[in-house]
Structure 1
């Protein structure tokens, strides 16, 4: 019996040998998404990492990674084309080439691209102050063929189109073609009677750049705001109107906080900070602004994550092709 017990212990020890005393290994690190590993190791943005992956530029064990969501050990060996390594052992981690030229062979054949711009990114190709702009966030090869259609302010998020056709860009931007841009604005919106008793409930008396100081109290209802915007609102740039699609008064809405409402509206011009000026002069300061549509292209239909770019599929381009005539 004793011999059998000793044999069992020996068998167990052979099957699961113990680590040397004092050298027991901790739990192995969990696998991470490949886009995260690539971003951290090569010091590129997550958007750039995902673009490299989707264009077959990242290989592991000789096979191209197919999805940014694929998970690997954080120390996985990978090969990435289009990146420049340091010139010496102490030169730091591999660095990307200037985004203006890399990756060089990313090609899009569509008439339009769609970019889901985050807050904080400038809609310019190069910022002299070194702030985040389109070339820091998107593959540089895009700009050999495409250019932005107008701009979104740095503090506005949402859909920004990139065009490969100068004539189309002109038609998309010119007011005579009546191409709507649709936004969702988070706005200061207390009850008018509360505002009359205490104007500090809303910051609408704060001057917005380029906007005349508002002369009216906040709208008493969504319908009243609809009428104000449809009739036209005077700003320092002229009188502009907007079409209200939907919205909710501040005292009915609890999602964004007390005295804060929202409105979804469409305009047919894209002058600098125009939506903010119009709403400001209609009695509502804009606290947040997000563009959800440009012409016939809806951001939700594209299912495009923030800070990503994609081709606009052919089935969404009929209206743009009609615009070209």
Structure 2
């Protein structure tokens, strides 16, 4: 049985479907020695190369859908490589053979919090698609006077440069005076949308953190720069949200689970070591 090339490569963990389609359009993918075409269908024994490198093409039964929760710190870029050598969200993720992590959306460099990664590019593509309307929740600290009329405008909708936008909900979450915290929800992921919505009311965002994606909250105690693999139940919640078949296997073995506090203590230790290595590398570059 043949399947579309972009679907097979996305499922096999070589990028989101959108990323793969862009590579096909740019002539970067070959199938059996020929430049691939958009919409091309392949069978299981096809030889596929991306940028000249042979890649594995896996049938559905050999692919285990994995999803990671990552606590992104401020200052990290949502890109695989930065020409200036700045830290990226991919630097700390576990390494894999024959596949790669695909980010479900992005957070800008000054935003922290929950970022999901998966080995299934088709899942990532569907979760990011605007038609899915999956709710995201953010904790946001704003600087400036905020009144009820302003909140009503943000709930009802305002016009941004790329179209109308609004918060589904806004809840006061602490603070006083002109420094206050709010929890807000959106059902789309446009670039810097939370910041731009507040800025439309002449209010400045001073801190921004994503704390929930769908019904998956940022796990309490997960340190910045740390990741945790989602259990099968949460993986299948995400798959059901975008009409994908349930996964039957998991990399997590419940028979060998350890208490959360011990697991997070190991993560904190590992992230601290990585920060020290990054600092040491920066110092060495300055001395050259």
TM-score (norm: length of structure 2): 0.58
Question: What SS class does the counterpart of residue 212 from structure 2 fall into?
Answer: strand
Counterpart Cα distance in 1 of 2:105 and 2:98: 15
Query: Would you say 1:178 and 2:149 are equivalent positions?
Result: no
Q: How does 1:1-325 map to 2 (within 5 A)?
A: 110-141=65-96, 144-190=99-145, 219-221=146-148, 224-248=149-173, 253-254=175-176, 258-300=177-219, 303-325=221-243
Cα distance, 1:154 vs structure 2: 0.7
Maintained 8 Å contact 1:167/1:324: no
Cα distance, 1:315 vs structure 2: 2.4
Question: What SS class does the counterpart of residue 219 from structure 2 fall into?
Answer: helix
TM-score (norm: length of structure 1): 0.51
Cα distance, 1:188 vs structure 2: 1.2
Maintained 8 Å contact 1:292/1:299: yes
Cα distance, 1:153 vs structure 2: 0.6
Q: Residue 259 and residue 324 in structure 1: after superposition, are their counterparts in 2 closer, same or farther (change >3 A)? A: closer
Maintained 8 Å contact 1:233/1:282: no
Cα distance, 1:111 vs structure 2: 2.9
Q: Residue 228 and residue 189 in structure 1: after superposition, are their counterparts in 2 closer, same or farther (change >3 A)? A: same
Counterpart Cα distance in 1 of 2:203 and 2:173: 13
Maintained 8 Å contact 1:186/1:286: yes
Maintained 8 Å contact 1:112/1:161: yes
Counterpart Cα distance in 1 of 2:223 and 2:179: 26
Counterpart Cα distance in 2 of 1:323 and 1:136: 29
Q: Residue 175 and residue 260 in structure 1: after superposition, are their counterparts in 2 closer, same or farther (change >3 A)? A: same
Q: Residue 139 and residue 164 in structure 1: after superposition, are their counterparts in 2 closer, same or farther (change >3 A)? A: closer
Maintained 8 Å contact 1:159/1:294: yes
Q: Residue 150 and residue 159 in structure 1: after superposition, are their counterparts in 2 closer, same or farther (change >3 A)? A: same
Counterpart Cα distance in 1 of 2:241 and 2:101: 18
Question: What SS class does the counterpart of residue 176 from structure 1 fall into?
Answer: helix
Gaps of 5+ in 1: 1-107, 191-218
- After superposing the two structures, state which structure 1 stretch, 144-153 or 179-188, moved more: 144-153
Q: Residue 311 and residue 109 in structure 1: after superposition, are their counterparts in 2 closer, same or farther (change >3 A)? A: farther
Cα distance, 1:160 vs structure 2: 0.5
Gaps of 5+ in 2: 1-62, 244-288
Maintained 8 Å contact 1:118/1:306: yes
Instruction: Report the aligned-residue RMSD.
Output: 2.3
**Pair member with larger Rg:** 1
Question: What SS class does the counterpart of residue 222 from structure 2 fall into?
Answer: coil
Maintained 8 Å contact 1:115/1:161: yes
Maintained 8 Å contact 1:187/1:286: yes
Residues 82-125 of structure 1: CA distance to partner in whole angstroms, max 9, x if unpaired?
Answer: xxxxxxxxxxxxxxxxxxxxxxxxxx955311100000111111
